């Protein structure tokens, strides 16, 4: 069974304010746990994007360095 509610932020805050203190503490811990899980997922995703990204060949890197030197000499004149 699945129930979805469309509750606005202000309504959610009002509901939380009605909870007893011990329930608010439990809710806070759960929110922190969820937040940490989402942060880990995001960093893992970024890491995989970077790892799977394009890599410059040694030949292209030497060409890049050569061009860099030429541009540096050009600017110094």
Distances (CA, A) of 44 to 2, 51, 55: 29, 10, 19
Domain assignment present for 2:
no
- For 12-35, the pLDDT digits (tens) are 999 999 999 999 999 999 999 988
As a whole number of angstroms, the distance between CA 66 and CA 69 comes to 5
Percent of the chain with pLDDT over 70: 91
Report angle CA 14, 20, 21 to the nearest 5 degrees.
Answer: 105
Domain assignment present for 34:
yes
Domain of residue 15: give its range: 9-76
* Contact criterion met (CB below 8 Å) for 27 and 16: yes
Query: Which of the four pLDDT bands, split at 50, 70 and 90, describes residue 77?
Result: low
Q: How many domains does the chain fold into? A: 1
As a whole number of angstroms, the distance between CA 37 and CA 16 comes to 22
Domain assignment present for 1:
no
């Amino acid at each position: 069974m699945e129930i979805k509610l469309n509750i606005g932020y202000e309504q959610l805050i009002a509901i939380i304010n009605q909870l007893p203190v011990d329930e608010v503490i439990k809710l806070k811990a759960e929110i922190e746990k969820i937040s940490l899980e989402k942060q880990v997922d995001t960093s893992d995703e970024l890491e995989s994007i970077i790892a799977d990204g394009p890599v410059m060949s040694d030949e292209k890197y030497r060409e890049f360095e050569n061009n860099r030197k030429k541009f540096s000499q050009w600017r110094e004149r």
